[in-house]
């Protein structure tokens, strides 16, 4: 008889030293508690000898309870020296967008969210300039200006932390936010700040990458979405893409082509993050299909 219960979805992300029996142990654990595995993906890094797995499953016919399942999972994790995250899908992730004056990434994310392409909530937009308040107004999202200069940085970041706490934010997206965040701010949001850099990292780090690319006469330009770390533009990469360039392209041509890439790359990175498809290890990521 087919169940009429609504699905209660959860995702398990696992990383641990590679050894036999990991897949079987997790499958048996979930089956024994009545969870129905919907899909599973795994990867082994043969150099680091690390194992990674993502399991998405349905809890609607659980024969125990979530607490019992979580305790059993903790026991298996200890046996296999696992780092793991168990994430329930009932509560959409809450995303804060940080912007300055460039509007292309902001509008793209807002339109995708309105169209249902991004399964998250956007409770607040934070900016160090008032220019894009009209965009927030169009989409009915609170817009908060926090002045952020070298002289006001500590106070600005304190205000930003308060806003993120007030809006119960899970992840921060730097949608062309033209400020360098402090190491303290980043450490408090480690693995939860997604930045878009307008070059194919590690090439052309820092400012004015399209001008750097033009000066080198590159034949490809790119964009990179990565997790922000205390070292500028060197965090774990989530997604990248490139487009052809030629000797005929001016700096303005490179900027135009690059902005198209920035939108697509940032949207994909955010989608993968909010769908619990990204695992960070070291300064790299595993992005599950």
Cα(222)–Cα(244) distance, rounded to whole angstroms? Answer: 9
The residue annotated as part of the active site, out of 233, 249, 253, 289, is: 233
What does DSSP say about strands 171-174 and 278-281: parallel, antiparallel, or unpaired? Answer: unpaired
Residue 56, φ and ψ in degrees, nearest 5: -110, 130
Question: What tokens does 48 get?
Answer: 């680091």
> Which helix (H) or strand (E) is 95 found in, with range?
strand 93-99
Of 223, 219, 183, nearest in space to 204 by CA: 223
Length of the chain: 289
Cα(35)–Cα(29) distance, rounded to whole angstroms? Answer: 9
Cα(124)–Cα(164) distance, rounded to whole angstroms? Answer: 8
65 is catalytic: no
DSSP 96-147: EEEE-S--HHHHHHHHHHHTT-S-EEEEEEEESSSTTHHHHHHHT--EEE--
Cα(151)–Cα(238) distance, rounded to whole angstroms? Answer: 33
CA dihedral of 112, 213, 236, 192, whole degrees rounded to 10: -40
Report the catalytic residues: 233
């Amino acid at each position: 008889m087919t169940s009429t219960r609504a699905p209660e979805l959860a995702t398990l992300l696992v990383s641990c030293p590679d050894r036999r029996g990991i897949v079987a142990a997790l499958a048996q654990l979930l089956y024994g508690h009545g969870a129905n595995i919907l899909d599973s993906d795994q990867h082994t890094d043969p150099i680091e000898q690390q194992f990674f797995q993502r399991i998405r499953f349905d809890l609607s016919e659980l024969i125990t309870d979530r607490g019992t399942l979580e305790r059993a999972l903790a026991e298996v994790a200890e046996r296999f020296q696992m780092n793991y995250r168990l994430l329930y899908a009932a509560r959409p992730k809450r995303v804060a967008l940080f912007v300055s004056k460039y509007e292309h990434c902001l509008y793209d994310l807002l339109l995708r969210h309105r169209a249902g392409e991004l399964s998250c909530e956007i409770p607040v937009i934070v900016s160090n300039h008032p220019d894009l308040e009209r965009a927030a107004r169009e989409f009915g999202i609170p817009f908060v200006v926090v002045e952020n200069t070298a002289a006001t940085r500590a106070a600005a970041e304190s205000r930003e932390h308060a806003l993120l706490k007030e809006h119960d934010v899970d992840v921060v997206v730097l949608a062309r936010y033209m400020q360098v965040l402090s190491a303290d701010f980043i450490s408090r949001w480690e693995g939860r700040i997604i930045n878009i850099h307008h070059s194919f990292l590690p090439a052309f780090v820092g400012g004015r990458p399209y001008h750097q690319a033009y000066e080198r006469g590159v034949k490809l330009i790119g964009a990179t979405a990565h997790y922000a770390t205390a070292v500028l533009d060197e965090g774990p990469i989530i997604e990248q893409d490139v487009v052809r360039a030629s000797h005929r392209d001016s700096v303005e041509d490179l900027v135009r082509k690059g902005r198209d890439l920035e939108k697509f790359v940032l949207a994909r990175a955010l989608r993968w993050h909010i769908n619990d498809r990204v695992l960070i290890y070291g300064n790299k990521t595993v992005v599950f299909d």
